[in-house]
Structure 1
């Protein structure tokens, strides 16, 4: 059955609050056993509306549900609000569902969060994070504990906080959704599967200030729903001032079985980010057929603001270390992560770093072409491991940085440098405190002629095969407390290097 919200009193003039009318249509549809609630042409001003089981909310192409800006128009269960506020989240949203099944939001219409009303004005030229004008910023969509959920074709516009947050949901399809967020808005995530299972995200276009797609296990979600697992992301175009694909930072339960394929990431601060901070295991992840373009978005030495973006143009960022909070737990575990067929342009490095207490393991980079290219005009020369005790700190920037990792394979990886060179760029590959490092078919030069192409320190179990020094190379391989077998090097061609191996 099809139910038009105007038949339940909705006006759609953008002034009259239609929350009660829309909710009456949804409730009546559910009482009849389910069906479709249609939002016709018009601008329907609304506070919180809640979907019920077996109800599809369908927005026609000229339909627009427009968010109220008044806190009193948004409701949430008291116990849920208190629990989530303790984590700094809050649970109030424009459209929500709780423990529903067979629910959907579909159609070519728009859900408008009016996020610009919650932030300082945009100047049109800067990159820094906009400051919130008010403490209250509702999510656009918030589903919890739902099963068999579909989001299809709808446009989510300018959320003031998270766009589409799902906690403890199972069997979810997100297909053809457009998320046009505030590209300088804090907490302006696109899609957040939180402790969800069997989620399929495909054919989406997402532009956000914060992370486009975030797979996480918050404390609230972990205590109620457990692990986040079996997530696929495919055929999406993504743009973010933070991470396009982020896994973590919140890891209060395990995250596993993730695939990301056939996606275009452009004009972003980070491409793929994987953080473990709260003691869980993150494992079994595949990333393939990706174009990743990243750039620097701010200079922390020049711009002193309360909020700042995380990231320094890393196409891949993987880190396991403790938070910078009192009595922070051991970070947890990252293992079995594979990258294949990546085309990268970036100002920052591929960054993979564990810690002495949490070594990353089972990492593979195969068929990767990385071009380091100046894009932003910002000076760079810093690493950013937030949230951590180290935070943001100065460091030379190699194309690939490895530290505290085991069982790492680089196979058919190529590094190139743009004609203009950042003064902080260094080796093609820098690694230290590694075990079982395999380098196969590596190709590239250092950013500066005075530096070695590959600099390895304190590495055990190094194997180098099918690797060639390019003409004009000075030092190819610099080793400190690291041995490599002559048998391995026989399959390499290092004759073009002035100094094939330098032991220090």
Structure 2
């Protein structure tokens, strides 16, 4: 065991322990590996870099408190929003490592507030993208377990191109208004297992990504399991995309609770991204006080090209390698209460319908005092209030034993849909009965 105090770290002193922590990691590395031990107390530090076969263990009462000075996070080559570039070093950084762990019941505090304020008010002062709290690139056999992660300057846990990643019993706490402070964002990873976590953040709780059209290497994010987690206040509880150019596939999400997240399960992309989201299974979920529980949106407009005509145009375009595709997505045994905008929003492209979707044993209750809101981000989409499922450009969609309660308008509104089947579904409105289903064909406006 390599105790950082033995290498000169001073607890509760305000003196940076960066060099002492680096020395302890180096000593462990020279010994072929071992545990770098952080005892009880608060230790101020700048960016630290892990080595292979190292366990960074924080004892109860230990706090790694990260500096707020940009110079303490020198530029490293990594990836930000799908594109390789220089970024401020993550607070805890590892590249091309094997067998690394961050464990213990201590706290890792990113002290993100100065970074958030600079992002909001003086973005020109940021030479590089803000640090992530834990950023790992090209690593294998990674474990993050039991720690409390808080106040991340930007994304909290961001493995990129990693394999065999386990994140278990981790709490992530970032203020609800903190910008871009996603919880766990695996990018182009294989074999990621997220379990027993509590995530309360200012952006997406979990976002699964696979690069953009500007990413040189198209590497999938695949074989992901998410189970037994609680998620609060994020823009989305579990989000797939919009960075999906390398494909996202083989994902299971089960036994989770979402509360006051804007969206529940959200999948988003747009023309030009390419890639496929497929073979996704979501089951045994409870949601409370969300804007929209389910969104599949191929007209997502955020990003530098989001306002271009090809992104929002409802006319069909030729299908190419840059046409995104959502297919084989299955939802089962889900309850959502106090839903505000819509029970679900599924909208494919005119040339590439969202397809092979099933909802089984799903119970949605709209909020009695619903607040109008956009179910997702799409040009021309008006705010909704208490609507049922809103479907556009979909094919082969099945609803089995689905109930929508207290909705306004039809429980299922289907615009330009094909092969949509309802079995044992019902509208449950006691005050103002509404029809179960409405089908319409809408011709796109030429422009």
Q: Under TM normalisation by the shorter chain, which class is it?
A: 0.7 to 0.9
Q: 1:17 to 1:262 in 2, by over 3 A?
A: same
Matches within 5 A, 1:181-260: 181-219=174-212, 223-224=216-217, 226-260=219-253
Q: Which residue of 2 aligns with 1:342?
A: 334
CA distance in 2, matches of 1:92, 1:191: 17
In 1, the alpha carbon distance for the partners of 2:431 and 2:393 equals: 25
Residue correspondence of structure 1 range 56-75 to structure 2 within 5 A: 56-75=55-74
Name the residue aligned to 2:394: 405
CA contact (8 A) 1:108 1:153 kept: yes
Structure 2 gap ranges (5+) = 312-319, 443-447
Asked whether the equivalents of residues 241 and 269 of structure 1 are also in contact (C-alpha less than 8 Å), the reply is yes
Asked whether the equivalents of residues 217 and 248 of structure 1 are also in contact (C-alpha less than 8 Å), the reply is yes
SS in 1 for 2:21: helix
Asked if 2 retains the 8 angstrom alpha-carbon contact of 1:276 and 1:282, the reply is no
- Give 1:58-137 correspondences, 5 Å limit: 58-77=57-76, 79-80=77-78, 90-120=87-117, 131=120, 135-136=125-126, 137=130
Q: Which ranges in structure 1 are unaligned for 5 or more consecutive residues?
A: 122-129, 296-312, 460-504
Partner of 2:374: 383
Equivalences, count: 420
Q: Cα distance, 1:383 vs. partner?
A: 3.0
Q: Supply the distance in 2 between the matched residues of 1:88 and 1:34 (Cα, whole angstroms).
A: 30
* TM-score normalised according to structure 2 size: 0.88
After superposition, the Cα gap between the structure-2 partners of 1:367 and 1:384, relative to the gap in structure 1 and judged at 3 Å, is closer
Q: Of the candidates 157, 160, 169, which is equivalent to residue 167 of structure 1?
A: 160
CA separation in 2, counterparts of 1:149 and 1:139? 17
Q: For 1:242 and 1:333, how far apart are their aligned partners in 2? A: 23
Tell me by how many angstroms 1:434 deviates. 1.0
Measure, in 1, the Cα distance between the counterparts of 2:299 and 2:156: 28
1:234-291 Cα deviation digits (max 9, x unpaired): 0000012300110101112110000000000011111110113311011000000000
Whether the 8 Å contact between 1:168 and 1:225 is mirrored in structure 2 is: no
- Hey, what's the Cα distance between the residues in 2 that align with 1:396 and 1:84? 32
Please identify the structure whose Cα radius of gyration is greater: 1
Higher relative contact order (CA closer than 8 Å, sequence separation 6+): 2
Instruction: Tell whether the 8 Å contact from 2:143 to 2:165 is kept in structure 1 after alignment.
Output: yes
Cα distance change on mapping 1:337 and 1:395 into 2, 3 Å: same
**DSSP 3-state at the match of 2:19:** helix
2:366 to 360, 369, 372: 372
Aligned-pair CA distance for 1:92? 2.2
Measure the CA separation in 2 of the matches of 1:69 and 1:391: 41
Counterparts of 2:88 and 2:288 in 1: how far apart (Å)? Answer: 33
Shift of 1:322: 6.3
Q: Is the 8 A contact 1:158 1:182 kept in 2?
A: yes
Q: Does the C-alpha gap of structure 1 residues 132 and 142 become closer, same or farther in structure 2, counting only changes over 3 Å?
A: farther
Q: What residue in structure 2 maps to residue 436 of structure 1?
A: 419
Q: CA RMSD in A?
A: 2.6
Structure 2 CA distance, aligned partners of 1:87 and 1:347? 38
Q: Any idea what the Cα deviations from partners look like across 1:339-368, whole Å, max 9, x if unmatched?
A: 000011111211111120221000000000
Q: CA deviation at 1:76?
A: 3.3
> Per-residue deviation at 1:118?
3.1
* Conserved 8 A contact 1:276-1:334: no
**Once the 2 structures are TM-superposed, how far is the Cα of residue 325 of structure 1 from its aligned partner?**
4.7
Partner of 1:268, secondary structure, is coil
